[in-house]
């Protein structure tokens, strides 16, 4: 449960940081397509983070029934 909350919070922070950086980097005035590109790039980075964390973290061990 804590792992899921931490992963979700990290993804939200990464999304906000990416959009904030792109808002400052891209020259204004911003058009609708600029916001689309910013959101798409932020979503891509969040999904990459999710897959990297899920692939590199160890799986939970199977529960062994006591005999």
Helix (H, G, I), strand (E, B) or coil at 28: coil
Cα of 34 vs its chain's centroid, Å: 20
**Residue among 35, 40, 34, 36 at smallest CA distance from 15:** 40
pLDDT in tens, 14-27: 899 999 998 899 88
Check: pTM over 0.75? Answer yes or no.
no
pLDDT in tens, 37-47: 999 999 999 89
């Amino acid at each position: 449960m804590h792992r899921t909350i931490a992963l979700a919070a990290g993804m939200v922070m990464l999304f906000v940081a990416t959009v904030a950086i792109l808002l400052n980097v891209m020259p204004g005035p911003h058009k609708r397509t600029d916001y689309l590109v910013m959101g798409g790039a932020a979503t891509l980075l969040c999904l990459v983070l999710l897959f990297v964390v899920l692939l590199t973290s160890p799986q939970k061990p199977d529960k062994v029934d006591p005999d």
